[in-house]
């Protein structure tokens, strides 16, 4: 049982254990997507360079990935670097790429140990060759795993993904009448994966920032004021508990008010 795996990794009697025991195993979201925001503010609050916030955020990635695997999530997608992030200072971008390579080198054995499959979504063009080499190695070494699907959205943009899907349809010379939602979904970066059930954004910002625009059509959105470097296991569990308290209607009528209120 996945919940038992999670509880085995948490100190008995801790606040995290109490939160974990409230989780309903049969209602755990299949796919959780996270906009990791607040690294810069975290550093500024401590009068540190912005890059220190990115370094501190690595521990959050580690804890969230391992917790997700133990809890039995199907897919976890983390928004690591957007197409728009190339506009940041070159030194900051360079540090971000270096940190990504270091993470993969230091955590690959852990991903393998937990049976996690690593995957990158986004455009390869523009990424440094040494980063691409590390990414491809991690994908190849975990390709046969059947545990958590761990996606990193890198050089990613939701509009770009939709544009690339349209280009793929044109290149395949698909007949317009054959392209429905199901067909179009096969052309996305996340083809074959369930759409996110839960979208989490840290740092309190109330926007989706061009992230998984097609996929989050019916995702439940959870915003926390916690900055990403401070985001830990308990914050993920709190988000999942909040998700489990919601009534997902997918545009239908809420049972309690059926016949009186139209819900979207």
Residue numbers annotated as active site: 37, 85
> Strand, coil or helix: what is 221?
strand
* 33: enclosing H helix or E strand: strand 31-35
* φ, ψ dihedrals at 57, nearest 5°: -70, -15
CB environment 47-72: b (16+ within 10 A), e (fewer): eeebbbbbbbbbebbebbbbbbbbbb
- Looking at the chain, list the stretches that DSSP marks H as alpha helix, in order from N- to C-terminal side: 2-8, 15-22, 39-45, 50-71, 90-113, 129-142, 158-171, 181-185, 233-244
CB atoms closer than 10 angstroms to residue 130:
11
Cα-based distances in Å from 27 to 23, 71, 117, 239, 243:
8, 11, 22, 13, 9
Check the CA dihedral 100-197-1-63 and report its sign: positive
**Contact (CB, 8 A) for 77 and 33:** yes
Q: What is the largest CA-CA distance in the chain?
A: 60
Which of helix, strand or coil describes residue 152? strand
Handedness of CA 23, 27, 30, 34 (dihedral sign): negative
Residue showing tokens 């067909």: 183
């Amino acid at each position: 049982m996945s919940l038992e795996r999670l509880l085995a990794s948490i100190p008995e009697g801790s606040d995290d254990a109490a939160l974990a025991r409230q989780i309903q195993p049969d209602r755990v979201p299949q796919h959780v997507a996270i906009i990791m925001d607040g690294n810069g503010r975290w550093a500024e609050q401590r009068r540190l360079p912005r890059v220190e916030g990115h370094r501190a955020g690595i521990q959050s990635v580690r804890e969230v990935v391992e917790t997700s695997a133990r809890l039995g999530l199907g897919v976890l997608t983390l928004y690591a670097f957007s197409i728009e992030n190339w506009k940041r200072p070159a030194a900051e971008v360079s540090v971000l790429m270096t940190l990504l390579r270091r993470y993969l080198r230091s955590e690959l054995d852990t991903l393998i140990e937990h049976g996690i499959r690593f995957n990158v979504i986004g455009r390869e063009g523009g990424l440094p060759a040494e980063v691409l080499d590390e990414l491809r190695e991690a994908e190849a070494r975990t390709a046969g795993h059947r545990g958590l699907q761990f996606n990193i959205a890198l050089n990613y943009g939701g509009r770009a993904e939709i544009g690339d899907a349209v280009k793929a349809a044109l290149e395949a010379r698909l007949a317009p009448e054959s392209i429905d939602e199901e067909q179009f979904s096969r052309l996305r970066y996340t083809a074959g994966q369930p759409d996110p059930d839960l979208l989490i954004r840290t740092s309190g910002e109330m926007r989706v920032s061009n992230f998984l625009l097609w996929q989050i059509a019916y995702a439940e959105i959870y915003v926390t004021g916690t900055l990403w470097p401070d985001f830990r296991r308990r914050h993920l569990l709190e988000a999942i508990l909040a998700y489990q308290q919601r009534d997902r209607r997918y545009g239908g009528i809420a049972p309690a008010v059926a016949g009186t209120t139209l819900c979207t």
